[in-house]
Chain A
Amino acid sequence: MNEQRPGLTISSVALLVVLFLQIPVIVVMLASFSETSYLTIPPQGWTLKWFEAVLTDRTYIDAIKNSLILAVGSTTISLVLGVAASYAIFRKLVPGSEALTSLLMAPLIIPSVVIGVALLQYFTLVGMRGSFWVLLIAHVVITVPYIVRSALASLSGIDLAVEEAARVLGANGFTTFRLVTLPLIKPGLVAGALFSFVTSMENVPVTIFLAGPRDTTLPILIFTSVEMGVNPSVAAVSTLLIIATAIVLLAAERWTGFHRFV
């Protein structure tokens, strides 16, 4: 029915808001190709020199490497620990499943900066501050809720009879999980892992309190260098991140219908 379609006013307002959401993205990309160190509209002259500056700068390369190692490492650990724990909770293998779920989701509710300062004090006390392993564990803590959330949601959608059928046919618990349950919850887990990866990749409030000078991550590097003023190489590295994000998002959408899980 015609009345139920949004009118022209609402549609144009909505489209303007969606445009507003993309503006910083567009501006950063323009700035990274612009000749001048301050972006003008329209940009004056095009150049790739800022990209060259980034890709030949050891600090940037190291930070990108650290971020990737941390994101892949923490997501992998979170996946293994989180899926195991979620499965135990879902099958009610232990009592108190509701309290356990709340505990596993708690890092999402406590403000990150508070987790950050708590870990700073704690790891200073035990004398482990500045270690890469501390950073990795901290990233597991902040990323695991996303895995648990998607694992529990996907598990609740599967029919337990399928698992029972596998058991009746002689598969042991682990084989059943690997060959029957895991494939069924895989799309949800891919989405959860993507959230976890993104969360680790962009985290500042926890990382900044724990990262030793050699473990600087990309967001920390951008965060601290912006305090010195607007620098076009920050725009260039940001553009690289924008392109990577767009590719990952589109790929995830293609593989798993990602938007269903957001």
Chain B
Amino acid sequence: MKSLRTGALLLSPLLFVLLAAFVVPLLLLVPTSFQEYRPGQGIATDVWTLQNFVRIGADEFYREVVLRTIGLGIAVTLSCLLLGYPVAYLIVRGNPRWRLPLTLLVIFPLMLNLVVRSFGWIVLLTNRGVVNNLLIDIGLIERPLRLMFNMTGLMIGLTHIYLPFMVLMLVAALQNVPRDVESAAATLGSSRFHIFRAVTLPLTAPGIISGSILVFVLTISALVTPRMLGGPTYQVMATLIYDEFMLLLDWPSGSALSFALAIATIFIIWISSRMTKRWAGLA
């Protein structure tokens, strides 16, 4: 068949690149995750062990890092949702003349280099940074607050980084809410808050869910912002993977942790896509 040949010809270059530089490398990480790392000697290839996976749940340090990563994911998702909803609402329901400038102001940080955005937060949050200086100058505090290398810094930075994604998802969801339904509720005497709670919020639930999934998944796999604002000691999963490969050279542990992270991500995305499909079926 001629079309099949054309199709294979069109697809094969990209498929070759993806197989050679994506699929095979990922598969080759699987055996590594079952091998043993012996400090000072390197990776022992003759033994197979589940130790690297067991450690993620059993070892106190690993458990703390995993729980911190999940906690951070949840906290950042919630704060993005709380901060993002009013912005999306203003973009969709506000004065139409504001829509384009507001949208561009939301997209702009998204297009801006992640490293630059994280650097901006360092300038703001470091011990002698803008925020601390300002607070000391107006006499609210005497000694600088610790805003970096802890949960506070990561929360602020990651919320800022992923907020635009949430806003864009919510904008799409709000645009699908028919105004008639809201005006009908208003005509029937509902208060503005009641309309929001009983009409707008449930109708935007799919957008809330997909935005939350996106932000959560991005947060738990973030490397750059957690390292820049958390430093080398306040670890999350991605920064720990980085250290295990680049500093500790414990590739087996790092591979196991990588799979834990990747499988969690794929699982969450799979569940959410099933959920949204089911919802779409019901509606």
A joins B in a complex: yes
- Which A residues lie at the B interface, using CB under 8 A? 1, 3-7, 10-11, 13-15, 17-18, 20-25, 27-28, 31, 38-41, 81-82, 84-85, 87-89, 91, 93-94, 100, 103-104, 106-107, 109-115, 117-123, 125, 137-138, 140-141, 144, 173, 194, 198, 201-202, 204-205, 208-209, 218-219, 222-223, 226-227, 230, 234-235, 238, 241-242, 245-246, 248-250, 253, 258-259, 262
Residues of A within 8 A of B207 (CB): none
Select which of B87, B192, B246 is within 8 A of A18 by beta carbon: B87
Given the known A-B contacts A223-B228, A249-B111, are A41 and B134 also in contact in the complex, defined by CB atoms under 8 Å? yes
Q: How many residues of B contact A (CB 8 A)?
A: 94
Q: Is the CB of A87 within 8 A of B133?
A: no
Once the chains are docked, how many angstroms separate the CA of A82 from the CA of B195? 45
Contact with A along B175-210 (1 / 0, CB 8 A): 000010011001000001001000000000000000
Query: Could you say which residues of chain A place their CB within 8 Å of the CB of B32?
Result: 121
Q: Bound complex: CA of A227 vs CA of B104, how far in Å?
A: 32
Residues B87-134 near A (CB distance < 8 A): 87, 89-91, 93-95, 100, 102-124, 126, 128-130, 133-134
Does B67 sit at the interface, judged by CB under 8 A? no
Smallest distance from the beta carbon of B127 to chain A beta carbons, Å? 10
Q: Judge whether B22 and A107 touch: CB under 8 Å.
A: yes
Is A249 touching B107 in the complex (CB atoms < 8 A)?
yes
Whether A11 contacts B14 in the complex (CB less than 8 A), given A121-B32, A198-B111, A262-B168, comes out as: no
The CA-CA distance from A121 to B245 in the complex, in Å, is: 9
Cβ distance B276 to chain A, nearest Cβ, rounded Å: 15
A-B residue pair count with CB separations less than 8 angstroms: 284
**Which single member of A4, A24, A81, A123 contacts B13 (CB below 8 Å)?**
A81
- The 9 tightest CB contacts between A and B, nearest first, are A24-B120, A93-B7, A111-B221, A122-B25, A14-B90, A88-B10, A94-B7, A81-B14, A14-B86
B86 and A10: CB pair below 8 A?
yes
A24-B117, A41-B130, A238-B119 given; A141·B108 CB < 8 A: no
Complex partner residue of A226 from B87, B122, B195, B232, CB under 8 angstroms: B122
**Contact of A93 with B3 at beta-carbon distance under 8 Å, contacts A28-B123, A41-B133 already known:** yes
Q: With A and B bound together, what is the CA distance between A28 and B118 in angstroms?
A: 10
Q: What is the chain A residue whose CB lies nearest that of B238? A: A113
Q: Is B241 in contact with A24, judged by CB distance below 8 angstroms? A: no
B147 within 8 A of A: no
Q: A113-B221, A118-B25 are in contact. Are A20 and B83 (CB under 8 A)?
A: yes
The answer, yes or no, to whether B211 is at the interface (CB within 8 Å) is no
A120 and B245 form a contact (CB under 8 A): yes
Knowing A93-B4, A222-B119 touch, does A85 contact B255 (C-beta < 8 A)? no
For A125, what are the chain B residues with a Cβ–Cβ distance below 8 Å?
28
Are B18 and A245 in touch, CB under 8 angstroms?
no
Nearest residue (CB) in B for A93 is: B7
How many angstroms from the CA of A226 to the CA of B87 in the assembled complex? 32
Most buried by A among B7, B87, B168: B7
Q: Can you spell out 28 A-B residue pairs with CB atoms less than 8 angstroms apart? A: A6-B86, A18-B102, A18-B105, A21-B163, A24-B109, A25-B109, A28-B116, A41-B133, A81-B17, A88-B8, A93-B4, A93-B8, A94-B7, A111-B265, A114-B29, A114-B261, A117-B255, A119-B25, A137-B20, A204-B114, A204-B223, A204-B224, A209-B245, A209-B246, A230-B126, A238-B113, A249-B111, A262-B110
